A and B are shown apart, each in its own frame.
Chain A
Amino acid sequence: MNDLSAVFSALAAGIILQNVVLARAFFSEDPNRFSRTYRGTLRLGLITAAVAVLATVFAVALRQLFAQALLWAPARWAAYFCCVAVSFLLLRPLFARLLNGRHGVSDKGLLYAAFNGAVYGIVLLSMANYTSPLLAIVYALGCSIGLTAAQLLIHAGSERISLSAVPRPFAGLPILLIYIGILSLAIYGLVGHQLPT
């Protein structure tokens, strides 16, 4: 029962807590650049989630095998990044189906979805917060789910904003940053201020 509650709390923590930081600004650069539909955003989220979870699995395995070597921070950072890279290369053939069609993701979108701070951050935080392999993977899964949900919310927000008479200086990225800021403020009321370290 204790193990089950530990798993559940790791999942909930991933979905809710860390996405205050990780998800808020993902795609803040230009959210409509890579997905103009909700399904497209969902596909991007799926890609991000798959890469993040598989990368965490590899990172967990690496930590089990090379615990001593990974005590040195730069080695740890490079090793975890390699896990992200390897998981992307392994999953890339499977993503080919998601690249086509009206809701498809472009090749560049694929690269942006995999090699961004959110995916790398999920791996780093999972490994930093949990020593148990199962909890680290569950936490990464939770972070990925929360990240996808946040991306959908941000996509909905940007769609709503595009219909508003936003003043010209604020049109586009500035108003989206303000939207993300107020949304973060709202979620802050639940989780508080935790700079993940």
Chain B
Amino acid sequence: MLGLGLPFAVIASTTLKRGALMSALCCACALVGFFLARLLGRHVSDTLRVLLVSLGAVCAVGGIVQSGVFSRVLIDGLGAYVPLAAANMILVSIAVDRQEQPFSAALRGVCFSCIGFTLAMCLLSVIRELLSLHTIWDRPVQFSAVPISGAALPCFGFILLGFFAAFGRTLGRAHLRILIRRTLRAKREEKEEGIG
């Protein structure tokens, strides 16, 4: 659920290409921020750690933009949203909260969060691009539904994200119920075998 804390990524991800770019930037910031935070450790105060981690993330974004991995047109189209990927609550959380966890557990958490965020963001942008432009990755797609130009708007992105979150929560609860049922069944069977 990392992406739910990055509203600017939601606003900017109106097409799959933009969604992929925002995901890449945010994940790069998260990983750079994580390693920087671990490097600094407890030697500095929380405030300074947050400052340095965020600055490192801004430099990481700048580096990615300058490397030419992504097209200039795409980056210019996003404008101020590119550096905004580096100033977000997730980085503050990485710099402050995850210091308590062991390195491997924290790294695993950040990596899975990045994967989850990328999947969520790409799914969101695919739906928005399909509904508004009837394209995927700028390629036209046969889609007979009425085009909804409002799907490209920020408001639609938030509403869709809200429904995603509700759907994810329902799935999670259903999964938990299945696990609980299995555990109870296994315990019951053990008891019966013990009695037998």
Contact = CB atoms under 8 A, between A and B. Distances in A.
Interface residues of A, number: 54
Interface string A48-86: 000000000000000000000000011101101110110
Contacts of B169: 168-169, 174
Interface string A97-127: 0000000000110011001110111001100
A89 B52 CA distance: 13
Interface residues of B, number: 52
A143 to B, nearest CB: 12
Interface string B162-175: 11011101100100
B115 interface: no
Given A124-B80, A195-B79, A78 B59 contact: yes
Secondary structure dominating the interface of B: helix
Contacts, number: 161
A91 to B, nearest CB: 12
A170 B165 CA distance: 8
Contacts of A20: 154
Interface in B59-98: 59, 61-63, 65-66, 77-81, 83-84, 86-89, 91-92, 96
B178 to A, nearest CB: 17
Q: Which 4 A/B pairs are nearest by Cβ-Cβ distance?
A: A197-B79, A74-B62, A25-B7, A177-B162
Interface of B: 4-8, 10-12, 46-47, 50-51, 54-55, 58-59, 61-63, 65-66, 77-81, 83-84, 86-89, 91-92, 96, 152-159, 161-163, 165-167, 169-170, 173
Interface of A: 20-21, 24-26, 28-29, 73-75, 77-78, 80-82, 84-85, 88-89, 92, 107-108, 111-112, 115-117, 119-121, 124-125, 128, 167-170, 173-178, 180-185, 188, 193, 195-197
9 contacts: A26-B7, A77-B83, A78-B58, A81-B55, A84-B87, A107-B46, A119-B87, A170-B166, A181-B158
Given A84-B87, A177-B158, 19 more contacts: A21-B11, A24-B158, A77-B62, A77-B86, A81-B55, A81-B58, A81-B87, A85-B51, A89-B51, A115-B54, A115-B87, A120-B86, A169-B166, A169-B173, A173-B162, A174-B162, A175-B162, A177-B159, A185-B155
